[in-house]
Structures are given as C-alpha cells and as structure tokens.
Amino acid sequence: MVDLKGQYKQIKERVDTSIAEVMESTAFINGPEVHTFQKELEEYLGVKHVIPCANGTDALQIAMMGLGLKPGDEVITADFTFAATVEVIALLGLTPVLVDVNPHSFNIDLEAVKKAITPKTKAIVPVHLFGQVAEMQELMRIAKENKLYVIEDNAQAIGADYTQQDGSKIKAGTIGHVGSTSFFPSKNLGCYGDGGAIFTNDDELAHTLRGIVNHGMYERYHHDVVGVNSRLDSIQAAVLRAKLPHLDTYNSERREAARKYTKALAGNEKIITPLICDICDCHVFHQYTLRLKDIDRDALVKYLNSKDIPCGVYYPIPLHKQKAYADERYNERDFTVTNQLVQEVISLPMHTELDDEQIDFITKTVLEFLDGI
C-alpha cells in the first residue's frame, strides 16, 4: 500500500546524516532537533504553536485534556474513522457520540452533528478522513453557535489547504480550537517510528498542553495538573526535518496519482471514484478510496491480492458496531451511510512513488474484475 523504501532512497543522505548527528550529540530526548522541527512546522502550517508528542493518539488525548473536558461531557465524532478518535474520548471518561458521515466526502455529516447536540455536548471532533478536509467553515459556525470546542483529527490530512469562502487558504489542523496529527510512518508526513503533534493558535492552551505532555510540570518537579509522558524523540524529529521540505511535493504526487486513477476508472458505473476538488488542494489523498456499487468487495480484494496488488478496507466495521463502543442509545437508522460504506469501500495503493506503469496495471486489473462479473 505504501513504498517507504523508495521514498527513503530519495532522501537517504540527508536522513542518515541527521540521524548520525543526533547519535553524536546524544541529545535523544528534547534535543535541539525537536525544537527546530517544532519551529519549522509552525512556520509551514502558519500556526502559533506546535506541541510535539509521542503519537497521534496521544495528541488527540492531550488536546482533550488541555481543553479541560470532564467526565460526562459529550463529544461528537464520526462513526466512520480509525478507532483512535473515539478511543481517547472514552478513555478520558467523556461520552462519545458517534454520528453518520457524508457519502461523498466520507467526512462527518453536519446535519447529523446538529441533531446530536445536547446541553451536555462540549466538543466536536471532525476527522479529515483519507486526506479530505471536512466542511470546516460551517462546522466552526455550528460550534460557535453552540459554544463547543472543535478538535481537528488531522492525522490523515497534514499539508492540506482548506479554501475559505473569502478565497483565503488555511492549513487543515489549524482551523479548530486545537488540531492533532500523527507521524506514523505511512502517514503523509511520516517518521521512522512513532510521533505526533498538537497545533493551536491559543497561547494559554499551548502553555497548558506543553505542561500536560511533560507530566503536568510547568516548573521542574512542580506538578500542577495530571499529565502524561508523551515525547517526540530527537531521531524522529531529525527524520521529520528531512521530510518536511518535501511535504508539498509528496502531497502533489499523491494528488497526481489520484487523478490518474480516476482518469482510468471514471465512467465505469460499478464504481464511484473519490471526490476531487479541481479548484483547491483540500484533499491530500492519504488514501484513494473507491465505492463499489452492488459488487462483492471481498471478491475484488481477493482478485487484486491474487495479482499481487495490495489493497485495503478502511474501515470494515463502523465504530458504533464495535464491541468497545456499541451503545443502546444508537439507532441503526441514524447510520445508513456508514453501514453502507463499510460494505462498499476499497482503497488502492497510494504513496509518493507510484509510477504510470503501476497505476496502469492496478486500474486494468480492477476493470478486468468488474468486466468479468
């Protein structure tokens, strides 16, 4: 699904040198590489504060801790996402409220959000799924009207540009009160281990978050709040510093591959290709995900695998049906889209090293299967 080796080869010299420098310096934790990466990412995103941490799941959890959410508070999020999003809500004793998504963008459905708001609701967590930015402007309006926090789970859309109604652009993850991301190796900006970060323009919140990631310490050995231990290590920061200058290129390579997939597959009535916005860069294609109409998806998965083509099913089970998150408050009628998507979706290989020959082979094999049934 990804070609991390091919990408590494292109930046090997810089990465190897930077890692060797960290080894020489022995500043493995909180070394200068981490601080410099933080500054460089702040600059790239146009956000006042980046708080590096250990992974994207921690980033979400720490963001929620920093906002002071309390047990019993309801947090609305999408039913169709990776479990980390709902996991941290539950872990903090908050009440997850899962809602349906939009069938075209795969992102949280705004009408469903409005319907789910109660006096206990404190926050909304949109997930920019597969690299496509959610409808943030309208979501922020709903949040403001109801005095809710917005925490963007930007693990899949780092570098995406959201175009606002006035035409101005803003980076995904910096639109809500706080945003989080993951540097897991296969993410659009991935390190060579685990890593994550939190973003905010709020000085006070940034200060709180910096303490939480470091055992609740604002002054050495003074623990003002309950914190966690969540750090980005210097070796990962060195890798990320080598890759950050290429992020825009990486994302345009993904977009280019997506356009080629769509060009080859569009027009076949058995598949729905993903939304591609022609006028903006609000999709960075963490995944290229098709919807199959009345096709046995699992048979296609088998067929592609038999031709040595990897593919993925993100996600096969809606969160409201997972044992850990099922709740009798949920009504199946409120999840018609996710219940359908989990049966229809299939993601094709997507990375920065896809060449025309590979895309041609993959799309021909998909069409061959569809023609054969």
- The reply to whether omega before 149 is within 30° of 0 (cis) is no
| Residue 56 or 173 having the CB closest to ligand PLP | 56
Cβ burial, residue 204 (10 Å; 0-12/13-18/19+) = exposed
Backbone conformation region of residue 93, classed left if phi is above 0, alpha if psi is from -120 to 50, else beta = left
| Residue 85 or 121 having the CB closest to ligand PLP | 85
Task: Kindly list the distances between the CA atom of residue 368 and the CA atoms of 39, 262, 294, 362, 365, in Å, as whole numbers in the listed order.
Answer: 49, 16, 16, 10, 5
Which residue of the chain is nearest ligand PLP when measured via CB? Answer: 56
Q: Is 75 in the site for ligand PLP (CB under 6 A)?
A: no
Site for ligand PLP in 278-317 (CB under 6 A): none
- Stretch binding ligand PLP (CB under 6 A), from 22-30, 62-70, 149-157, 324-332: 149-157
Q: Which amino acid is at 232?
A: L
Residue 300, helix vs strand vs coil? helix
Q: Is 196 in the site for ligand PLP (CB under 6 A)?
A: yes
Q: Is 82 in the site for ligand PLP (CB under 6 A)?
A: yes
Show the tokens assigned to 59. 């980033």
Q: Which residues pair with residue 50 across a beta bridge?
A: 199
What's the min distance (Å) between Cβ of 318 and ligand PLP?
Answer: 14
Q: Is 192 in the site for ligand PLP (CB under 6 A)?
A: no
Q: Is 80 in the site for ligand PLP (CB under 6 A)?
A: no
Q: Is 44 in the site for ligand PLP (CB under 6 A)?
A: no
Tell me whether strands 74-78 and 95-99 are parallel, antiparallel or unpaired: parallel
* Nearest Cα to Cα of residue 89 among 80, 76, 99: 76
Site for ligand PLP in 118-147 (CB under 6 A): 127
What's the min distance (Å) between Cβ of 240 and ligand PLP?
Answer: 13
Query: Rounded distance, CA 131 to CA 17, Å?
Result: 31
- Stretch binding ligand PLP (CB under 6 A), from 72-80, 82-90, 220-228, 260-268: 82-90
Q: Is 236 in the site for ligand PLP (CB under 6 A)?
A: no
| Residue 238 or 319 having the CB closest to ligand PLP | 319
Show the tokens assigned to 297. 């998806």
| Residue 176 or 303 having the CB closest to ligand PLP | 176
Tell me whether strands 345-348 and 288-292 are parallel, antiparallel or unpaired: antiparallel
Residues that bind ligand PLP (CB under 6 A): 55-57, 81-82, 84-85, 127, 153, 155-156, 182, 184, 194, 196
